Each structure stands twice: as C-alpha cells, then as structure tokens.
Amino acid sequence: MSVTLGRREFLVGSGVAGVAILSGPGSVVAAVEKGNCEQLTVYKLSPDWGYPRGPNAKTKLRSRASITAAEHRYALTAADAEAMNLHLCSYAPAVPTEVCKAAFMTLWDGGGYEWLSPFKDKTVRIFDSRRYELVERGEELLEEAGIPVPVIDSPAEAPLILPPPTPLPDQETTPSAPSLARTGASIATASVGGVALMAAGAAIVAAARRSSVGEEAVCGA
C-alpha cells in the first residue's frame, strides 16, 4: 500500500532532511532541542578583535594565559566580562554568545564563582567551563548549553583550585623545646635557620613581583 504525501508534509520532511544533510548525523535532534530551549545571551572576551583598543592600541591578546581564559570564561554582562581581563594592559572587548538558558544557569549556579580582578579592583561572578566537573552532569550540561567541552592539554590550563590550609600543630601538645633537644639543634641554629627561610621567602616574593611588573611593562596580555 502506497502513501501519498501532501505538499505540506513533503515540504516539512524535505526541510528536516536538509538540516540533517547540512549538519550531519544527530543534528535533527539537536536542532529540535535547541529550538525548544530558551536562549540566553552571555559574554566572553574576544582574543583577537582586530582593531586598536586601549592606550596601547592592542588588537589581540598575546599571553597564553589570557587567550586560554578568554576561551573558557563566561559572564552574564558585558561589563563583568571586560573585568575578566587578566592584566592591566589587557583591553579585550566583550562579545555576546547564545547559550541554552536552563543548562547554562545550572552550570552557573553549581560552578560559578567570585573572581577578583587584581588590576581593576573589581569582583565579578564568572563561570569557567574548565570547572564543569564540579557540577553534576557537567559535561552533559555543557553540551546542552552549546558550550564546547574543554580539553585540558596541560596542568597550566586547568583552573586554579587551592587546597585547604594545613592546620598548625597544637603548641601545647608539641612543645618546641624538647623537639630541639631531640634533634640536637640549638636556639642559635634555629634562629639562623629562621632568618634564612625568611630571606628565601622574600627573594621569591621579589622575583614574583619583578615578573608581574615585567609582564605589565611589555603588555603581554
């Protein structure tokens, strides 16, 4: 028994087939899901905007850290996105991008965090897609939101999550004097060691500051 399609059914079927041919396998389902999902405009930083911007007339980001951050971090407003620039001499503009609202806000609520810009002295709430594992069904939610799932090639690209501080030993239960006696260390030796540690710490801090100042000087944003 043959079935004759009407003009309306034929056009609808042809349209769906066209989507499948142009977009690849599974695209019909994706298109339907996206069509049923309320869209939300969020903002990222453009790594290469192509026109002079800022006092140094920069046209793109240069440091790997800034480029990677721009690829993965999102804000709800353009102003918050521009505050995500990592360096004082970074002037990357905010660009809008459309995401599925329900999926993105689930990621935002579960993985968003407050970020303090060290140069702009402004705290903004952002979402970094590299933190998707902190959210239940994070990878699925990224796909539903229309955000690429990050591929972390090196530890340097992973988000910085500091471990909790190690508690100091109880001074009442671990007195310092017997410890020095057992190890044979004298008070003078301990003092010299303490001074050496302080000097080493000061040297590390000074080196970090010189590196930061140097990065600002060349505007390697």
Question: pLDDT tens for residues 191-221?
Answer: 545 555 566 555 554 554 454 444 444 464 5
Contact 59, 96 (CB under 8 A): no
Average pLDDT, the chain: 72
Mean pLDDT of 1-24: 41
Distance CA 153, CA 64 (A): 13
In Å, how far are 6, 91, 130, 171, 212 from 121, measured between CA atoms? Answer: 64, 15, 24, 38, 16
pLDDT-based confidence at 145, cuts 50/70/90? very high
25-60 residue pLDDT tens: 333 334 334 568 999 999 999 999 999 998 889 999
- Lowest-pLDDT choice from 94-98, 102-106, 148-152: 148-152
Percent of the chain with pLDDT over 70: 52
**Of 58, 125, 116, the residue nearest 90 (C-alpha):** 58
* Angstrom distance (rounded) from CA 15 to CA 9: 10
Region 53-82: mean pLDDT is 94
Alpha-carbon distance of 141 to 134, in angstroms, equals 12
